[in-house]
Amino acid sequence: MKEHTSVMLDEVLAAAASLEKLDVFVDATLGLAGHSSRVLEAFPSAKLYGFDQDAEAREIAAERLAPFEGRWTIVAANFRRMAELADEPDFAGADAVLFDLGVSNLQLTEAERGFSFQNDGPLDMRMNAEAGAEGRTAADILAEADIAELTAIFRDYGEERYAFQIAKGIVRNREHGGTLTTTAELVELIRKILPAPVQRKMGGHPARRVFQALRIAVNDEMGALDEALDGALSILNPGGKIIVISYHSLEDRMVKHRFRKWKDDGAGEPNPRKPLLPTEEETELNHKSRSAKMRIFQKYEEETDEEEGRDDAPERA
C-alpha cells in the first residue's frame, strides 16, 4: 500500500470530536483514505461516504478501509455531485463533511498523469484519466486556446504575473509548427519564454503556476468546488460541520466568501472564525502542509418552538 501523510489530521479529528454526534462522515476528497480511515478508527459508530473519481485512488482507499467492513461506501464520482447523496437509501444527512483540496501525492508522483512539472509525462492532467475518459486534456487546451484564453487561464487560475507573455509564447510556438505533448516540453518552452532574471525573481519553479492553472482548467475545479460546497450544506445535519483544507488562495477565497454568505443567510457560522494553520512541527515533517489552511463552518442547530418564543433565546449573528 502506498504511503500517505494526511494534512492537519489532528485538527480534523479534533473538529469531529467536538460534534455532539458523528454518525455519518462524508469525505469529499477520499484519495487514499488517510483522513477517513482515522475517523472510522476514532469514531466506532460512524459511517463513511467517500467521493473520488480516480480509479487507482479508490482501489487503494478500499484496501485501507477494509478493516472497517460494512461502515463505508465509496462513490465513484466528482464531489460536485455531493447533493445527490440525499437520494441514497437510508442516508439521513451528514454530521461532518471534509474537503482536502488540491492534487494528491499519488497523482503528482505518477509521471504518466501529467500533473508534475518535475517528472516528464503526457500533458493530460485529468483527475479521471481512465481509458475512454472524456474532457479536454492540458495538451488539448495548449493546442487550441488563443492568447486571450490562455492568458485568462494562467492569470485567473494560476495567479501568474507573466500570464500574457507565457500565453503569447505558447501560441507563437504553435504558429511556427511547435507542439506540446509532454510536461517536459512545456517546462522547456516556459524557460525559453521567460528571461533568466525573471525566472530568478519568481521564487520557485517557473512552470509551477502554469501547471496549477492548467490542472484547474482541465478539471473545472473551481466550478466543481462551487457546486460541492452548496451540496455539502444541503446534506449537512443541524449542528454539523463542513471542514475545508485548501492549499492556494483561489480555493481559500471561495471557501471564505461562501462561509460568509451562509452566515449572512443565517445558516450557521465559521467556527473558529479564522482559519487554522498547521503546526510548525507538521510543516517540518510534511512539506505539502506548508501552504494549508483549514476553515470550518458549523450549521446552526434547529431551534425548537419553545426557544423561538423565549425572550432570552440566544441572538444569532
Task: Give the pLDDT of residue 261.
Answer: 98
Whether residue 316 is predicted with pLDDT greater than 60 in this model: the reply is no
Task: Give the pLDDT of residue 129.
Answer: 63
What is the grid cell recorded at 130?
481512465
Cis omega before residue 275 (within 30°)? no
Q: Has residue 111 been placed in a domain?
A: no
* Alpha carbons 86 and 18: distance in angstroms, whole number: 24
Q: Where is pLDDT greater, at 195 or 316? A: 195
The number of folded domains in the chain is 2
Encode pLDDT of 197-253 as tens digits.
Answer: 999 888 789 999 999 999 999 999 999 999 999 999 999 999 999 999 999 999 999
Q: Has residue 247 been placed in a domain?
A: yes
Task: Give the pLDDT of residue 105.
Answer: 64
* Alpha carbons 16 and 12: distance in angstroms, whole number: 6
The closest of 81, 101, 141, 77 to 222, measured between CA atoms, is: 101
Q: Has residue 135 been placed in a domain?
A: yes
Whether residue 173 is predicted with pLDDT greater than 80 in this model: the reply is yes
CATH code, domain with 142: 1.10.150.170
Do 142 and 64 have their domain in common? Answer: no
Do 46 and 192 have their domain in common? Answer: no
pLDDT-wise least confident of 72-86, 118-132, 173-187, 295-309: 295-309
Encode pLDDT of 59-111 as tens digits.
Answer: 999 999 999 999 999 999 999 999 999 998 889 999 999 999 977 665 665 65
Do 87 and 231 have their domain in common? Answer: yes
Task: Give the pLDDT of residue 120.
Answer: 86
CATH code, domain with 276: 3.40.50.150
Do 134 and 192 have their domain in common? Answer: yes
Domain boundary among 196, 218, 240: 218
Encode pLDDT of 30-62 as tens digits.
Answer: 999 999 999 999 999 999 999 999 888 999 999
State the average pLDDT over residues 152-177. Answer: 97
Do 42 and 82 have their domain in common? Answer: yes
Whether pTM > 0.95 for this model: the answer is no
Query: Per-residue confidence at 116, pLDDT binned at 50, 70, 90?
Result: confident
Do 210 and 233 have their domain in common? Answer: no
Whether residue 302 is predicted with pLDDT greater than 70 in this model: the reply is yes
Do 201 and 232 have their domain in common? Answer: no
* Alpha carbons 270 and 157: distance in angstroms, whole number: 25
Q: Has residue 315 been placed in a domain?
A: no
Q: Has residue 101 been placed in a domain?
A: yes
Do 167 and 241 have their domain in common? Answer: no
Do 90 and 133 have their domain in common? Answer: no
Do 134 and 78 have their domain in common? Answer: no
Domain holding 254, by residue range, is 9-105+221-309
Q: Where is pLDDT greater, at 211 or 307? A: 211
Q: For the chain, where are the E strands, in sequence order?
A: 24-27, 47-51, 72-75, 94-100, 236-246, 268-270, 293-299
Sign for the pseudo-dihedral over CA of 167, 122, 211, 226: positive
Do 133 and 211 have their domain in common? Answer: yes
Strands of 293-299's sheet in order across: 72-75, 47-51, 24-27, 94-100, 236-246, 293-299, 268-270
Do 137 and 208 have their domain in common? Answer: yes
Domain boundary among 194, 218, 242: 218
